[in-house]
């Protein structure tokens, strides 16, 4: 029963959510709305379990003085401060939570994205090596697009912006659409495997 009941619930909920897109009438519309409410309730408890697990892991790291335990202290202090300030005084402008969000979390996020630029540059250097015809074509397209976005490109050739926009509008868009179609097919395939009970890894290993 520990295995069959979750499979039955997953099958019924998945089929209902699929059918309600094609048959927007009762009882499917009401059932899909009810399932969304249940999903929010389950997601809330999952978030509580996740926060509890984070607290447990970092408290254990601090108590055993494992390497990097100082970062765990900072994480728990930040978690407690934001939770208490948000629950106690709200998240509106002028509150402690609002101040921490805009003056601490946003700058940290900006710093993280700034560091990602160096990793992207390193990956681009490895990808743009003209070892094959495809890599050479990718390198040429990248150079043209970059030159079309800076003033020096227009100074060198006034048609660089036109060529760069053409590359972004046509070849790049075609590639993005192919990637999105592949992602959609992958999502459909994985969803059907879960609904039909073929994929059971979400129930734990060996199920």
Retrieve residue 69's tokens. 């335990």
- Give the whole-angstrom CA distance, residue 206 versus residue 57: 25
Q: Are 16 and 28 in contact (CB under 8 A)?
A: yes
pLDDT band at 125, cuts 50/70/90?
Answer: confident
Q: What is the mean pLDDT of the chain?
A: 87
- Look at residue 128 and tell me whether its pLDDT is greater than 80: no
Q: Which residue has the higher pLDDT, 31 or 72?
A: 72
pLDDT band at 206, cuts 50/70/90?
Answer: low
- Look at residue 119 and tell me whether its pLDDT is greater than 90: no
pLDDT at 207: 53
Lowest-pLDDT range of 135-139, 174-178, 185-189: 135-139
Give the end-to-end CA distance of the chain in Å, rounded to a whole number: 12
- Look at residue 203 and tell me whether its pLDDT is greater than 80: no
* DSSP state letters, the chain: -TTHHHHHHHHHHHHHHHHHHH--STTHHHHHHHHHHHHHHHHHHHHHHHHHHHHHHHHHHHHTT-TTHHHHHHHHHHHHHHHHHHHHH-SSTTSHHHHHIIIIIHHHHHHHHHHHHHHHHHHHHHHT--SSHHHHHHHHHHHHHHHHTSHHHHHH-TTHHHHHHHHHHTHHHHHHHHHHHHHHHHHHHHHHHHHTTS--GGG-TT-
Q: What is the pLDDT of residues 141-177, one digit of tens each?
A: 888 988 888 888 888 888 889 999 999 999 999 999 9
pLDDT at 147: 87
- Give the whole-angstrom CA distance, residue 76 versus residue 55: 7
- Look at residue 83 and tell me whether its pLDDT is greater than 80: yes
- Give the whole-angstrom CA distance, residue 69 versus residue 55: 13
- Give the whole-angstrom CA distance, residue 26 versus residue 37: 17
- Give the whole-angstrom CA distance, residue 199 versus residue 192: 9
pLDDT at 167: 93
């Amino acid at each position: 029963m520990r295995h069959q009941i979750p499979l039955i619930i997953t099958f019924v909920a998945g089929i209902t959510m699929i059918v309600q897109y094609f048959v927007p009438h009762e009882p499917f519309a009401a059932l899909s709305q009810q399932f969304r409410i249940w999903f929010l309730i389950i997601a809330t408890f999952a978030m509580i379990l996740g926060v509890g697990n984070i607290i447990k892991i970092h408290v254990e790291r601090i108590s055993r003085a494992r390497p990097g335990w100082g970062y765990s202290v900072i994480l728990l202090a930040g978690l407690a401060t934001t939770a208490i300030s948000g629950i106690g005084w709200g998240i509106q402008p002028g509150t402690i939570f609002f101040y921490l969000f805009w003056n601490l979390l946003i700058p940290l996020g900006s710093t993280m994205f700034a560091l990602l630029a160096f990793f992207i540059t390193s990956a681009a250097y490895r990808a743009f090596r003209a070892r094959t015809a495809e890599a050479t074509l990718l390198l040429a397209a990248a150079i043209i697009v970059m030159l079309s976005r800076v003033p020096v490109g227009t100074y060198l050739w006034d048609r660089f912006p036109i060529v760069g926009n053409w590359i972004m509008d046509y070849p790049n868009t075609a590639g993005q659409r192919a990637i999105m179609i592949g992602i959609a097919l992958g999502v459909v395939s994985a969803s059907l495997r879960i609904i039909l009970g073929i994929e059971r890894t979400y129930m734990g290993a060996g199920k």
